[in-house]
Amino acid sequence: MHFLRPFSIIILFVMISSKSFCQDNVFPSIDRYKYYGLDNKFYISFMPVSLIDFADGSSLRFSADAKVYKGIALSAEIGYYTYLSDYFAKPNAKGIIIKPALKYYLWKGNKCNGPYIGLEYQYKHQTYFEHDSISVNSAGYAKTYKMTRYVNCINAKFGYLNNLTRRIILEMYAGAGIRFFNSSTDLPQTEYDGILRGEKYGNDMNSGYQVRVLGRHTYPNISAGIKIGVRLR
């Protein structure tokens, strides 16, 4: 489940990119060649897919991109978790996400448009609750407990920025990197060790093992996304 969203977005990314290069017009009413020459010096965007992230919880994310040199832009994304997280893998998720990035656009002309490569850092502080079946000294019961997680991640990414109109922007990206996280819980160690993987005592949140992992860990990371933006300059 954790990798479902990135892989599904990557597939969509490839499909949209293929249509963009193989057809004269993805949108019948839009001449895609008309806006290729635009230099996107500053724009703000919204990531709609993050609202339905089944693995990490629903979050609302906005970003701003600014050109700082020839073909080079700085990006800053910020997000926070919404009440919709109650319906996903991390119930009652709360916290913040901060993602600064450096982008280098590959097309000649030194304009911020078209394909780019980038380096991105992500910081995430997240709390959420799990409800599990626990057995200690042969006594079984259900309990809700709190998880706290800090994540630091570095990604190399490839993306494509496309002006649908003079003001409306569609951005697609995919990347890979490494993720470091540190998790803790308010559950005593004896109870944590007694968590049952079934539902014998009323476990109503069977959302997987990874969301319950404690301590410091390092994992590979896959990221992908689609943003819809407004060009301001």
**120: pLDDT confidence band, cut at 50, 70 and 90?**
very high
Give this prediction's pTM.
Answer: 0.77
Strands in the chain per DSSP E: 42-46, 59-69, 72-81, 94-105, 114-136, 139-163, 168-185, 195-196, 215-231
**88: pLDDT confidence band, cut at 50, 70 and 90?**
low
- Inform me whether the pLDDT recorded for 128 exceeds 60: yes
* Measured torsion, CA atoms of residues 137, 140, 145, 147, in degrees rounded to the nearest 10: 70
Where are the chain's structural domains? 4-231
**18: pLDDT confidence band, cut at 50, 70 and 90?**
very low
**87: pLDDT confidence band, cut at 50, 70 and 90?**
low
| Cα dihedral sign, 14-111-66-102 | positive
Residue 171 identity = E
- Inform me whether the pLDDT recorded for 17 exceeds 60: no
- Inform me whether the pLDDT recorded for 10 exceeds 60: no
* Residue among 150, 79, 71 at smallest CA distance from 118: 71
Q: What would the pLDDT profile of 164-217 be if each residue is shown by its tens digit? A: 999 999 999 999 999 999 999 999 999 998 888 765 555 544 456 678 889 999
**109: pLDDT confidence band, cut at 50, 70 and 90?**
confident
pLDDT at position 92 is 80
Work out the mean pLDDT of the chain and round it to a whole number: 82
Contact 96, 78 (CB under 8 A): yes
